[in-house]
Amino acid sequence: MRAVLQRVTRARVSVDGETVGEIGAGLLILVCAMGDDTLDAPERMAAKIAKMRIFRDEADKMNLSLRDTGGAALVVSQFTLAADLRGNRPGFSTAAAPAIATQSCDRVVAALRAEGIAVATGRFGADMQVELVNDGPVTIWVEV
């Protein structure tokens, strides 16, 4: 399982002009289920994200987690994180099949909520427009 985390002051995802998910301060999380993921990958990913200390403390150091700050998460499925770039046109054969990927993304969301994090989502498989204000900027690649 792969994810790209972007620390944001706000983020929103729209489908056909309708906002389907929106948060204030927190993390925009682009998630990709891979074909070779272990069964517990979604829960391990969520636990890692919830504990990652990438928010500023009172000394302006990255020392606080999403849980510590009370920030929210906007989770958006992003199969293109599985891109194989050996040629000029990316291939996505290492991404999980859509039925499995949907379940994996749903399990990441459920596990983040179980960690006490407010979560908004995009719409799996939809053509989404994602808007964000990256805070820092802080962008981190995570793989479990």
pLDDT (0 to 100) of residue 20: 98
Question: Residues 32-90: pLDDT tens digits?
Answer: 999 999 999 999 999 999 999 999 999 999 999 999 999 999 999 999 999 998 889 99
**Which CATH number fits the domain that encloses residue 15?**
3.50.80.10
Position 139 in a domain = no
Is the residue at 14 inside a domain?
yes
Residue 6 lies in a domain: yes
In a domain, 144, yes or no: no
The pTM for the full model equals: 0.95
Domain tally, the chain: 1
In a domain, 109, yes or no: yes
Is 140 within a domain? no
| Separation between Cα atoms, residue 113 and residue 129, nearest integer Å | 24
Is 24 inside a domain boundary? yes
Q: Is 141 inside any structural domain?
A: no
Q: What are phi and psi of 78, to 5 degrees?
A: -150, 80
Domain span at residue 8 reads: 2-134
The rounded mean pLDDT for the chain is 97
DSSP state letters, 112-127: HHHTT--EEE--TTS-
Residues designated catalytic: 78-80
- The answer to whether the Cα torsion of 43, 49, 53, 57 is positive or negative is negative
